[in-house]
Chain A
Amino acid sequence: MNKKFTNSAKVITHLGSLLNTTENYSDFRIILSNDNKPTATFNCHKAILACRSDYFAALFRSKMKEYQESSVEFTEISSPIMQKILSYIYTGSIEINVENAIEILVSAKKLFLDDELCDFLI
């Protein structure tokens, strides 16, 4: 008989750590900017972004400028929010409080993250 062994917690930790290390095989950058000045850069992974967000899946599929340049520039998202969004994309958990709830909801809707998150926020 087959016995099942699971260690999902460890996988989540490992995936989450991808966001914090510099040498992380990243193949895509998310750049935040304000008035055309870059404010922050996140090194990410296409495969993970595409499978967790329909927005990114469409972005890569369309093979437009962002795909050619391996980066996308967001002007409406602040760095702490992006950090939280990415951590949710990579690990599936997010900390929300009164101050950031709306901003997170707006981004989650735009990027088509899981419906469950949006339901939770509303």
Chain B
Amino acid sequence: MSRKMILRVPKFQEPKRMEKSEAQRLWLLLKDAIVEVQHMNASTLSFEELYRSSYSLVIAKRGDILYTGLEEVNNHHTKNLLDKIAQAVDERFLIELNSQWQQYKLQQIMIHDILMYLDRMYVKEPQLKVFDLGMFKWKQNVLIHSQINDRLVRMLLGLIHMERNGEVIDGALMKSLIQMYVDVSLKEKETYKQEFEERFLLATSHFYKSESNLFITNNSCGAYLKKVEIRLIEEEARIKQYLDESTGPKLIKACEDELIANHMQTMIEMETGCRTMIQNDRFNELKLMYRLFQRVENGLVHLKNEFAGYVRNEGHKIVNQPENLKDPNALITSLIEIRNRFEKTLSQSFANNRDFINSVNTAFESFLNENDKLSESLALFIDKKLRGGFKDSNDQEIDVIMNKVILLFRFLSDKDVFKKFYEHYLAKRLLSGRSFSEDLERTMISKFKQECGNQFTSKMEGMFTDMRLSKDALDGFKNYLQTSVEMGKLPKIDMSVRVLTQGFWPTFPPHSCTLPPLLSQYCDLFTKYYCHAHTGRRIIWQTNIGTAEVTFRLPKKTHVLALSTYQMLIMLLFNDAEKLSLKQMAAGTSISFMDIQRSVKPLYSGKYKVLKRTPAVEKSKELSENDIFELNLNLKCKLHRIKFAATSQTDSEPERQHTRQRVDEDRKIEIDAAIVRIMKSRKALIHNDLIVECTKQLSSRFVPQTSMIKKRIENLIEREYLERFPDDRRRYRYLA
């Protein structure tokens, strides 16, 4: 820290009083010099002399003479300049004004330099600083004078209009003249805003209003969008080139309003507009539209709604197309296709905007759940793929398809229905040995597991375990047979058994049938063996899903027929009879008439007919109990082994009904559990709250119907889990 020196000096010397005449002399000297400066003759003047004069006047407290004098000189000078400039013809006007202005600005700097001591030591608010005083006089006497201002603004706007129409104008001149409005503004660019900017923005709006109306009526939407983008770039450049930067946001807003906001609806609806672009995957045009709409308020909302609406509409068409309703494979394939297509639109045109993705997903959710067939169709689609449809795809392609399946699955509201169907078809694949690859099966399941957790896939995994354990059990059984005493008495047949844990597997509709004695004996042996090895277990035979191979001896040839268990039973009947009616078949096998019908059909109406109907009737005719069949001994077939479908490929309606019923049964249990869980933690609850809570808890698996929840509540009240409050019937209490 510096120490302050203490000075003992004689009393500060008062400057000598300056005589009025001396002051006047100094001012006249300065005035002459200023006039010289205003005539650009400054180079012979002595700066020090002028500076010293102004300094002396200020020191002598005569600054007022100087300041008022300066005001007058400036006043006079600017008035002279006005006349000079106003006389200029239009072609010269801007150039003349600009050159006078540039000179004037330089003069004012020089005057400020000479009068620097005055400026710093004398001028006090609200007086204007020396330079500002010059600016103010120019503004007052030149710029906003009626002979100049309107003419100038009109010409400037005229030039901008010309430039917008493609002509080349003098940018530097524009910049200098427009900057003049800023320079003469004393605070917050008020002169610039009032005199120029306001009118410029108005002219801009006007220009683009008429241009855009005309252009959009005569051109395609795509061309219009490009035009808009170019216009916006031009205006950005205009700001940099000659406008004050504070005008930038206002100018761009005005352009956006006229060019985009006012035409959004048209751009969406016009023939070449947004709709057509989406329909025809015009990604680049959509991208441009997205970019431009993004600039205006609510612009993206319009675009998003239009897109989501289109998605919903397309999806709706697909899920209701009659061909698709019949063919689950085509349905899912088309769904995956449009999903891919819209994902492409989202990424290429809409920058993967979150809102857009969400609204597309909402659209998918709504149309995918429009009809209740989708769960089954999806399960069937995967079934087909896993039965061999993946044969020609590489790992990466398979993964992509699986992920798409999961994606569609995610949108399903009734995931439990899907699960039932999936388990059903998985069971069929495993039992018929039709699964193409265990690895792929497991990959698919692991994806569901990732999506929905362990609970969702535990049964499916159980099925795989059963398949493995069955193989062990069967090997064990074969060893057992060789050592068994009874074995010696029986003819050998090759029997294969799968042990399915109840609960893991779908419960197949109960069917009964009478097995031929030999088979029965084998079954008993297996039961004996298995229950010995695993005490406490019970075996129920499911004959209806088995398969069998039967030797078919014709006079000239022998075939092996691959049949379902039921078909085998029917065929075996012909060992003892020549002709059989359906009624007789049913009686001989104890199979329900409906199953007889379904089993016989492929045997007489397929490509290879091992049975024939006597007398021959039209194929399409429904079978009746009394129709009679006999073996077709004239069968012509080059194949040794002939395979017959057990039933038609897709499930029959009763089977489907059965699956649905099981879903409903399961739902009852789930709803019960949810209600009890909720009531247990809340103790007492109003009816509506319970419904809401319950729906929420279950929503990840399915959307329960309110009527169903009501029924379950009633049921739980009957079973004394809950009771109603006596004074308020709408409230329930949990009974521990």
Contact = CB atoms under 8 A, between A and B. Distances in A.
Contacts of A1: none
B485 interface: no
B43 A65 contact: yes
Interface centre among A58, A62, A102 (most CB of B within 10 A): A62
Given A101-B7, A120-B4, A64 B12 contact: no
Interface residues of B, number: 26
Interface in A20-51: none
A55 B51 contact: yes
Contacts of B13: 102
A120 B4 CA distance: 7
Contact of B48 (A63, A74, A101, A102): A74
B5 to A, nearest CB: 7
A54 B51 CA distance: 12
Interface of A: 54-55, 58-59, 61-68, 72-74, 76, 96, 98, 101-102, 110, 112, 120
B616 to A, nearest CB: 102
Contacts of A64: 42-47, 50
Interface of B: 2, 4-5, 7-9, 12-13, 42-48, 50-52, 55, 109-110, 113-114, 116-117, 120
Given A58-B113, A98-B8, A112-B116, A66 B47 contact: yes
A61 B107 CA distance: 11
A120 B7 CA distance: 11
Nearest to A101: B7
B55 to A, nearest CB: 6
A55 B52 CA distance: 11
Interface centre among B9, B109, B113, B114 (most CB of A within 10 A): B113
B122 to A, nearest CB: 13
A98 B10 CA distance: 9
Given A59-B51, A74-B48, 8 more contacts: A58-B114, A98-B7, A98-B9, A101-B7, A101-B9, A110-B55, A120-B4, A120-B5
B43 A102 contact: no
The secondary structure that dominates the A interface is: helix
B7 A65 contact: no
B42 A55 contact: no
B59 to A, nearest CB: 9
Contacts of A72: 47-48
27 contacts: A55-B51, A55-B116, A58-B51, A58-B116, A59-B47, A59-B48, A59-B51, A59-B113, A61-B109, A61-B110, A61-B113, A62-B113, A64-B43, A64-B46, A64-B47, A64-B50, A65-B43, A65-B46, A66-B46, A68-B43, A72-B47, A98-B9, A101-B9, A110-B55, A120-B2, A120-B4, A120-B5
A66 B51 CA distance: 12
The secondary structure that dominates the B interface is: helix
Contacts of A68: 43
B12 A102 contact: yes
A9 B4 CA distance: 23
A50 to B, nearest CB: 12
Contacts of A120: 2, 4-5
Contacts of B51: 55, 58-59
Nearest to B47: A64
Contact of A62 (B2, B7, B42): B42
Nearest to A69: B46
Contacts of B7: 98, 101
Contacts of B2: 120
A68 B46 CA distance: 10
A113 to B, nearest CB: 13
A112 B46 CA distance: 19
B9 A102 contact: yes
A36 B596 CA distance: 141
A98 B8 CA distance: 6
A96 to B, nearest CB: 7
Contacts of A112: 116, 120
Nearest to B117: A110
A61 B116 CA distance: 12
A41 to B, nearest CB: 15
Contacts of A76: 52
Contacts of A55: 51, 116
Contacts of B116: 54-55, 58, 112
Contacts of B109: 61
